[in-house]
Structure 1
Amino acid sequence: MPRLVDALPKYRKHKASGQAVVTLNGRDCYLGPHGTSASKAFYDRLIAEWLIQGRSAQAPAVEAITVIVLCGRYLRFAKSYYLKDGKCTGTVPAIKAAIKYLRDWYGKTPASDFGPLALKAVRQRMVEGGLSRTYVNDHVARIKRMFKWGVSEQLVPPATYQRLASVPGLLRGRTTAHENPPILPVDDATVDATLPFMPEVTADMVRLQRLTGMRPAEVCILRPCDVDRSGEVWFYRPASHKTEHHGRDRVVFFGAEAQGVLLRYLAREASTNCFRPCDSMAKVLAAKHEARKTPLSCGNVPGSNKRRRPKKAPGEQYEVDQYRRSINRACDKAFPHPELGKLKRKDLTPEQLKELKAWQSSHRWAPNRLRHSFATEVRKKFGLEAAQVTLGHSSAAITQVYAERDLEKGVQVAKAIG
């Protein structure tokens, strides 16, 4: 039989927030800054009420939860909820960026007191910080979802979220927040000019994505076992994809040209990734060795200057960011700045470095733009429904974002009507 303990719940310090905390009936009650007389008086009051009601009093009302505590708990939940293949998705960093604006101004404010005016003040701070209108709206929506989650966990009164939900999003043309330019397709001439400056493996990934309209992540995780080669057109079902948590299937179609690109990457174990950084690095080193002019009797023998335990080694699978950075490096080589491209970055002044970055940003293209190009071409030749099927969208409205409208049809109508 367990020993009965008459000790009172302890006055403790919550390391993450720096607040004092006491646990009553299995629920943490936050008391304010640790060590202050106000927090100790709050502790004494709660313990007195708890003892009067026979050690069974309910925890204090949700108004005691501060915004910083709510942010910490929501972030802990997000890290365990927004997972993909055992890793946190991009939603978690976005949540961190959103709550950063809450932490400084309203961290110590009771969550129940955070209302529409406070949310608008945070939103205006985002606008003045240079964020685009859509990004500001996304951040505000994340803050609202956090308070909605707090209601479901009985940390925030329902009325608090209802008040925040009444704040509308910023509208185009009715705010000082700037608009981001739309993501447009990348033309074939630009891609063809960049391909010679890419490693062979990355170049084939670009060619395959341009022919199939896959998402960058779907190219990175492509394996032989995921490709059905029984028919004239091959079917690729990714082991993991963006909308699988909605119970949707994803099929990518490989025609003859796409099959030709992929064919030489299939002669490996079925569960091994087709495109691997380690293979790419091996080919780069082999090309350097082939172009070597120094005799083998002089200098380093291949493999002799490797570290036994390098901090970073080429992996077995490309990450999307690795794929994008490889394309960016190729763009910088294919489209160098006419004056600053030949200089070392350490020799540039801050103004020159800013100019160089602006040049590179305007001459780079991301792998997602290949998807836009594919969607635009398919829609123009085969219609919106065909683009929706090949892109794997459940709604044609989503396809509209990727596939640029065919303006030639409008021109034809104008010519016919007069």
Structure 2
Amino acid sequence: MPKLTQSLPKYRKHKASGQAIVNLGGKDHYLGPHNTRASKIQYDRLVSEWLANGRTQISQADDTGAISVVEVLAAFWKFAQVWYVKNGVQTNEVEAYKLVIRDIKSLYGDTPAVEFGPIAFKTVRQIWVDRGQARSTVNKNGGRLKRIFKWAVSEELVPSSVHHGLASVDGLRAGRCQCREAKPVLPVAIEVVETTIQRLPRVTADMIRFQLLTGVRPGEVCGMTPGCISRDGEVWESTRHSTTDEAEPCSLGQTPKRF
């Protein structure tokens, strides 16, 4: 008569993916990143169900340890809407990530996130190439895709091997791909600027003159207030308003702006 055992299936590490794994009734079940609290809770749940089922194999529907790509995308989307905010307003990155997420989801939404590797990356990237995007735009979107899964690693949603695989894919290079090159953005002729200033309201015209004199960005000049400018000496300096006792250098360069 064979010897009966009361030992439980082992909580193991799957070396290829870095995920925790347990074999129940001859079937492997992925539990999530190895040695995390979430994976151990998943292990306890699956083993308990397996024991309650008379130590027989549980159904595929019960195997929820492997998070899908669409679940990663949904979690990142919630994060992005809060993180990519400046002065209380969402930045353009939110809309950019929305488009990237849409394309990933359309091809790999139901795929286990642990299986999203370099080939999947290149397949999604080809969508952007076929769409006629400039090489610089394709590479920016590729960087966004990598950041999604890098964030997922930091949240222990996927093993670090997923991001390492994606990071191995180089960006497209000029002359070595099918992408078009973006046209250079040239400055507006100063004559056009001066003619336009004459037709603008006084405050807007002064903001443009300030930009011409100092080289600040539009967002920086829009965020300035009279309190940002120190006019004690012959040379004025810009400082950024702070809730602390001392004013901080304004974000118009590495040092206070002098004009």
Superposition TM-score, scaled by structure 1 size:
0.44
1:363-378 paired onto structure 2 within 5 Å: none
SS in 2 for 1:136: helix
Task: Give, in whole Å, the separation in 2 of the partners of 1:120 and 1:239.
Answer: 45
1:405-416 paired onto structure 2 within 5 Å: none
- The change in CA–CA distance for 1:232 and 1:104 in structure 2 (over 3 A counts) is same
Q: Tell me the equivalent position of 1:235.
A: 237
CA contact (8 A) 1:147 1:161 kept: yes
Deviation at 1:253, TM superposition (A): 2.2
- The change in CA–CA distance for 1:63 and 1:118 in structure 2 (over 3 A counts) is farther
Computed over aligned residues only, the root mean square deviation of the Cα atoms, in angstroms, reads 3.0
- CA offset digits 1:355-381 (Å, max 9, x no partner): xxxxxxxxxxxxxxxxxxxxxxxxxxx
Residue type at the aligned position of 1:235: E
CA contact (8 A) 1:63 1:110 kept: no
Task: Give, in whole Å, the separation in 1 of the partners of 2:106 and 2:89.
Answer: 28
CA contact (8 A) 1:65 1:110 kept: yes
CA contact (8 A) 1:63 1:157 kept: no
The count of aligned residue pairs is 203
In the alignment, structure 1 residue 143 sits paired with structure 2 residue 145: yes
Q: Tell me the equivalent position of 1:70.
A: 72
Deviation at 1:49, TM superposition (A): 4.0
Give the gaps of 5 or more residues in structure 2. 1-35, 40-44, 54-61, 243-248
CA contact (8 A) 1:66 1:107 kept: yes
1:5-404 paired onto structure 2 within 5 Å: 48-49=49-50, 64-239=66-241, 251-254=256-259
Task: Give, in whole Å, the separation in 2 of the partners of 1:62 and 1:215.
Answer: 49
- The change in CA–CA distance for 1:145 and 1:61 in structure 2 (over 3 A counts) is farther
- The change in CA–CA distance for 1:85 and 1:171 in structure 2 (over 3 A counts) is same
Deviation at 1:83, TM superposition (A): 3.1
- CA offset digits 1:202-234 (Å, max 9, x no partner): 222111111111111111122111110011111
Task: Give, in whole Å, the separation in 2 of the partners of 1:209 and 1:182.
Answer: 21
Q: Tell me the equivalent position of 2:27.
A: none
Give the gaps of 5 or more residues in structure 1. 1-24, 29-43, 53-59, 255-418
SS in 2 for 1:237: strand
Task: Give, in whole Å, the separation in 1 of the partners of 2:255 and 2:80.
Answer: 26
SS in 1 for 2:133: coil
The structure carrying a bigger helix percent of its residues is 1
Task: Give, in whole Å, the separation in 2 of the partners of 1:135 and 1:219.
Answer: 27
SS in 2 for 1:139: helix
% identity of equivalent residues:
40
Task: Give, in whole Å, the separation in 1 of the partners of 2:237 and 2:226.
Answer: 11
Deviation at 1:50, TM superposition (A): 8.3
Deviation at 1:47, TM superposition (A): 6.2
- The change in CA–CA distance for 1:48 and 1:161 in structure 2 (over 3 A counts) is same
- The change in CA–CA distance for 1:119 and 1:182 in structure 2 (over 3 A counts) is same
